[in-house]
Amino acid sequence: MAESQATIAPFSAPMTGGQTFELLGRPARYTVLYFYPKDNTPGCTTESIAFREAWPEFQALGADIVGLSRDSLRSHENFKGKLGLPFELISDADEAVCTQFNVMKMKNMYGKQVRGVERSTFVIDAQGRLVKEWRGVKVNDHVAEVLEFLKSQP
């Protein structure tokens, strides 16, 4: 929900397809980086499917989508294949990227405090500047919000 022009420190991380994500030098005009708690859970599945369904619209706006969670590459490959995701997923098992984006939070799960990823989305431009962020995302209508923001960009 916040708009910003902060520059993100460059980072690289392993992702599906045997690739390495590099923040800088990406061909897309925008990178939509969405952080989610865990592969194969209801909310994360719904969110990933919503991004999958809107993939052509994001591509038409010059935006690439990349999902990120702490799950292993093996888990990500299975999740990506099961859902037919046309975009890659980053594995952040050591929480380095999660820490950089400050998405690790204490959450209530079944009455217990647990440390986990706060569902968040960041739009980063081709120069590595953070141009928009959503934290504490609710899955319903979120992808439409991200699309509307990108459509409003010059």
Q: List active site positions.
A: 44
Q: Among 147, 140, 135, which Cα is nearest to 35's? A: 135
Enumerate residues 6+ apart whose C-beta is below 8 A from 144: 54
- Helix (H), strand (E) at residue 80: helix 73-83
- C-beta neighbour count of 61 within 10 angstroms: 17
Task: Write the CB contacts of 97 (distance below 8 Å, at least 6 apart in sequence).
Answer: 11, 13, 68, 90
